[in-house]
Structure 1
Amino acid sequence: MSYLIIKKSIEGHSKTDMQNRFEALMKSLDYALSHTNVTENNLAKILQDEIYQIADINKHDVIIYDLDGNYLVSNKDKALVNEKKLPNNILNKVKSSDNRYDVKTYDENLGSTLTSSYIIMRNNRLEPIAIVYFPVYHSEDEYYEAFHKYVQYIILVNLFLILLSVWISWVISKNLTKAITKISDLITRTTLLGKELRPIKYFNNDELSGLVKSYNKMVYQIEDQKLLLANKQREEAWREMAKQVAHEVKNPLTPMKLLIQNFVRKFDKNDPEIESKIKKLSKSLVDQIDLVATVASAFSEFAKLPPKNDENFDLKEELENLVRVFNEGGNIYLHSNRKEIPINMDRVYLSRIFTNLITNAKQAEREGVKSVINLDVELLNKKVIIAIQDNGSGIPKDKLEQIFEPNFTTKSSGMGLGLTMVKKMIEEYKGEISVKSEEGRGTKFTIILPTNV
């Protein structure tokens, strides 16, 4: 294993070294051409002097061919260049790709590997003007020779350590194997009984009895804490819910009380407008009573979702109809990557989800900034990804984590159940919802739903 790792490291080092040389050469060439308007016709003239300096600095030969594979210019004498024209197979592969094309051969005379690298050269306008050829000779033998000795040393050391570890393990485990095996069997049987933790029955008085006692004590403590925590969480949830219900009910009761007190204080049966005032009072009281009923209904809906009536329909068409209802200002835009997106779910659930999110987006409009709401719908691998993004006031960072919690709201009015219900309905379909927001820039909700089709 060590040998393979070292060998891979050597090969990686060799490839990295060659890549660094290649990039340095290309940067030198790009720099030489960066201040001139270069074309295929004047390239040889521009580089005829500078190519010697580039090759000298990088200590590598550079040969440049035109786009038909004919020799143009090099730091070497033309008579010493073996290939005056590139073979067609290499030429076609280089021209068909923007990446570097490498050809490896072995030079038996030099005992080295020759990597012939070809790449298209482009001018400042990114137009192809030539083909650059870098011949790179490199030998890995010198690396292998040094590392072979190192590998031999590592093998000997590892072998010694393995033997020593086996002997020490045998000595240490000899006296404890039987007891540990018994405890292991007991713990294994305990964990297989179910999710509940159960104490281990162990009656021997040996080195492991203290461990068993500690484990059993921990089991009892964990069970007690689980019960306490569950009760505390239930109490806390009901307490918070009761506080929210009381708060929401109290809001309409206070103006109702003030209205009646004020009416009684100013009541005059001879007042010619007494009938009109009674009607106004009655209407105000009815409105406040309706608000209390709305609060009760909202908490009732939160406690129990309506039954689902799943059916197959086109999600895009359904969203288009929904957007049409809210798009009186023409500022809501729907985008989709498919003409039709089939989905199987409850239309009412879908309508409630997006009615809530679109309403929130409209209410987040900043003063002096025209509201723009984008709905992007994508169908990918049996899943629908829907993004709803606005350019509104955004949500503060410290409140983002609470956005889906019951009774949390950033609005001056409302019960804070809308997004909680949205998340609950999405999770009913094994979906996910997430939010990103930046104050003063807007908010983006992302929903992922399985199509179930």
Structure 2
Amino acid sequence: MVVCFFSIIGSTAMSYLIIKKSTDEQSVTEMQNKFEALMKTLDYAVSHTNITQGKDLVNILQNEIYEISDINKHDVILYDLQGNYLVSNKELNLVAQKKIPHETLMNVLESDKRVDVQEYDQKVGSNVTSSYMILRNNMLEPIAIVYFPFYHNDNIYAGAFNKYVQYIILVNLFLILLSIWLSWVISKNLTKTITRISELITRTTLFGREMKPIKYFQNDELSGLVKSYNKMIYQIEDQKMLLANKEREEAWREMAKQVAHEVKNPLTPMKLLIQNFERKFDKNDPEIDQKVRNLSRSLVDQIDLVATVASAFSEFAKLPPKNDESFNLKEELENLVRVFNDDGNIYFHANKDMMPVRMDRIYLSRIFTNMITNAKQAVSEQRKSIINIDAELFNKKIIIVIEDNGIGIPKDKLEQIFEPNFTTKNSGMGLGLTMVKKMIEEYKGEISVKSEEGKGTKFTIILPTNV
């Protein structure tokens, strides 16, 4: 619109100058042609006899000057060489200029060419070009001065200019409307493409969702952006693989340390028991049978502990195969709560009676068995334990909040809560929440924790329905 606005101003100004110049040139050409035709007619009229200046000229041209004026369709006025009025096609009282001004007269007498004087006639309200030229006889002697007034009608080019401006405005209005429509179409398509690209870029996350390149087949300004984005996607995927391998190696390393530590714990008392039994062994001891049974029982207990460590490690290393099925999550959670709610301190709430979900029932049971067990074990001695479980179905996602009023988790340990070998309890391998997180992420879900020491802990689990 700004371009069209300046286009109107520029084209209008340029058109005014061009039309004015063209009109002035046309007026000059028209005046030149009329003056030449007039001079030829006058030359022809005085060429039949040898005329001298003065009354002879008046007598000869007195009658012919009317015919000359009619032929040329213009006023003709003749002055003598002193600038005094001689004869004209008009009555004497209608002739405005009875005598040529002295300065103009001198210029005419000194020049062999036409002398033009630009003036403005207030009576007519128009510019007038007064052309003067010496009239000569057969002997090329000057006999009179011809005065030829030519009026310029400025309204001619003003009217043409006004009409041209009207057309210019109409054309530019059409161009403005066309440009608005084109701008709307182009901007709509552009913003639509940018919005789609923006949505795809917004979905890009380092974890949890596979990053997909943008399919864009047009060769325009946005193709470079899309190519750069797709290149970045491939680089991020490579970095994710490297990071995943590094994290996996680190997890195995930490797990190996934990398993080694847990295995060493029962081996030490087993060694001491055997050494002590060997040192005090007496086959004649009447209680030898009982001592052998006690030794065997102690060794079996320690061996069972090693087996427990191995089983826990095996479970962490490989999740059981999934057997997904569709069921009502609310009913499953109600059954789980019913099993653990011996003390009547677990409260379950759901915003829908029907919460369809598709996942493995065993996975779900293991997730919430671990979560409820942790909440029950976090009981505070200062108050009665209360556990609230809220489930909400919203936009094809189920949000489950498990909140207790237990002892809470210290801030410095909150970031380690999902690490493989971390635990705040005196017993256990510290694999429970690690397994929970792993199973939730298997279904593209999320788990987060908030806790305040001495007030309680709140876990938030988000699971897609996958239905």
Q: What TM-score do you get using the length of structure 1 for normalisation?
A: 0.49
Rg larger in structure: 2
Which is bigger in relative contact order (C-alpha 8 A, separation at least 6)?
2
